[in-house]
Structure 1
Amino acid sequence: CYISLAKTGGIKGGLGLAEDTSDAAISCQQVGPIELTDKIKNGKTQGDVVFQKRTSLVFKKLQVVRFYDAKRNALVYLTYSDKIVDGSPKNAISAVPIMPWNK
């Protein structure tokens, strides 16, 4: 997956004292074979955090969580910030249908 997120500049941003906004985007593609573990297939790892990045000095983190949609055989990735800054919480979603992969 590829993630784009807002980064605050200036002196405070450079020192890590400024809070970045909660804006983020995510794009995921299948680029090779995907083999699901039994835990994922059985729905025992729904909402696993697969990526995390601190976006402020103390509290705020950008997170990416993964879900498995068994009905559609797809992986779904959701990115969100765990602290609201400047309005509503922002999130983005990307779905990856799992396709057969010939070697």
Structure 2
Amino acid sequence: MRIVKILLGALMVVPVFAMAESIGEVSTVFKLMGPNDKIVVEAFDDPKVAGVTCYLSRAKTGGVKGGLGLAEDRAEASIACRQVGPISFLEKLKEGEEVFRERTSLVFKTMQVVRFFDQKRNTLVYLVYSDRVIEGSPQNAVTAIPILPWPEKP
């Protein structure tokens, strides 16, 4: 019982990240055994900023290793975030706060999206990049959303 309490306590300390919703995918390389290599498109809502949705495209390795979750996905990713409703801050924002994270290899590699707020220009900036425990990748993509009034429906 004590172990269960410790695990539950540890889970409460873990930051909350957005969950991605699959939008679509295209095959890029045919694999005879296992799933094909593909590019997947996913969407997630910023957990602390209502009215913002980010769309992420990334490579997903197929084959037997990919099907078993043992393959390492490439570091390249693309991101486009958009205002989809009135923007409001649900909590205080932290500079460079991680809003999305996904494992891209069995243990050592992750892809994450971090958020910045450019107060001078009243703009939210989202950066996607990949890292490893030992060495990350300089490949990245960025998108920005100017915070604008949202038109009300008649």
Q: State TM-score, norm by structure 2.
A: 0.59
Unaligned runs of 5+ in 2: 1-53
Identity of aligned residues (%): 63
Residue in structure 2 matched with residue 63 of structure 1 by the alignment = 112
Deviations 1:17-70, CA, capped at 9 Å, x for gaps: 111110100001111111135733xxxx00110000011111111100000000
Report matched runs for 1:87-102 at 5 Å: 88-102=137-151
Residue aligning to 1:29: 82
Point out which structure has higher relative CO (alpha carbons under 8 A, 6+ apart).
1
User: Aligned with 1:3: secondary structure?
Assistant: strand
The code of the aligned residue for 1:29 comes to: R
Query: Aligned to 1:12, what secondary structure does the other structure show?
Result: helix
RMSD: 1.6
User: Partner amino acid for 2:138?
Assistant: P
Q: State which structure, 1 or 2, has the greater radius of gyration over its C-alpha atoms.
A: 2
Of Structure 1 and Structure 2, the greater strand share is in 2
Aligned mate of 1:6, from 59, 73, 78? 59
Distance 1:37 1:24, change over 3 A: same
TM-score scaled by structure 1? Answer: 0.86
Q: Counterpart of 1:19 in structure 2: which amino acid?
A: E
| Distance of 1:38 and 1:71 partners within structure 2 | 20
| SS of alignment partner, residue 34 of structure 1 | strand
Q: Distance in 2 between matches of 1:38 and 1:63?
A: 20
Q: Distance in 1 between matches of 2:72 and 2:90?
A: 37
Measured in 1, the distance between the counterparts of 2:67 and 2:88 equals 41
* 2:126 aligned partner: 77
* Alignment: residue pair count: 97
